[in-house]
Amino acid sequence: MSRVLVTGSTTGLGKAMAAALLDDGHHVVVHARNTRRAGDVDDLVARGSDLVVGDLSIRADVVSIADQVNSLGSLDAVVHNAGVYVDRERVETPDGHAQVLAVNVLAPYLLTALVGRPRRLVYLSSGMHRDGDTSLRDLDWLDRRWNGVQAYCDSKLYVTTLAAAIARRWPAVHANAVDPGWVPTRMGGPSASDDLTLGHVTQTWLAVSDEPAATTSGRYWFHQQPEQPASAVGDVDFQVALLEQLAQRTGIELPES
């Protein structure tokens, strides 16, 4: 059985995934943004899950989450499930970042760098990553006029590229990105057209399955089928440039292999 951290476990796909893992006998580390939201996973904790708490939009909290996780012992997999969708206005974090960048990109990057290296890493992406801006200009939207949809697309391009960069840089780790589809979670909304149940199947499979396909790396998945991501994702120069930007913004260099 595996030990798996699932960020953003209090609702939606994260909670569904954590419950499914528990049903299959795995050990789960669940995550809540704050102590109030931690009550939403009381049922999972009662079933044996460990709980870590911290706001992914705040750098100090992300570092604390990493410390909490590391104190629990080694992990077999981390699923970077947490994310925010389209902010109508630029929401600035206490560290001065756009919230969508901080939660969707900087937090997964920091946790990847700081949490003891597991055998598997899964990053939640979106088909909208294909509309992301590859210029890497003004990641925090300090100079550009705010566009919430574009900022979200950018964040998903960056995290998808992060997964590909990890797969290349850490060959002993299976790192993959997953498009869960447009599902009717709180983020996706009631009009979402994809199957809610299928929304967490692929990342669960990648986190724990021993099937040969699930133990590959560097792929972009949709409903357990590999798809071709945006061309920038596999561009090594773009990967390197992105990692440099993320290191500058977090103060943490991603360890070498």
Nearest residue to 199 (alpha-carbon basis) of 230, 222, 176:
222
Residues noted as catalytic: 152, 156
Average pLDDT over residues 216-237: 97
CATH domain 3-250 topology: Rossmann fold (3.40.50)
For the stretch 170-183, pLDDT in tens is 999 999 999 997 64
Q: Is 189 buried (19+), middle (13-18) or exposed (0-12) by CB count in 10 A?
A: exposed
Average pLDDT over residues 91-110: 98
**DSSP-derived 3-state class of residue 71:** helix
Q: What is the mean pLDDT of the chain?
A: 94
The reported pLDDT for the residue numbered 188 is 44
Nearest residue to 185 (alpha-carbon basis) of 109, 257, 82, 95:
82
For the stretch 113-137, pLDDT in tens is 999 999 999 999 999 999 999 999 9
Distance CA 236, CA 63 (A): 28
Res 194 pLDDT > 70: no
pTM: 0.94
Nearest residue to 39 (alpha-carbon basis) of 27, 51, 48, 29:
51
The reported pLDDT for the residue numbered 196 is 57
Res 256 pLDDT > 90: no
Res 40 pLDDT > 50: yes
Average pLDDT over residues 63-89: 97
The domains of the chain are located at: 3-250
Distance CA 38, CA 135 (A): 38
Instruction: Mean pLDDT check: name the lowest of 41-45, 199-203, 221-225.
Output: 199-203
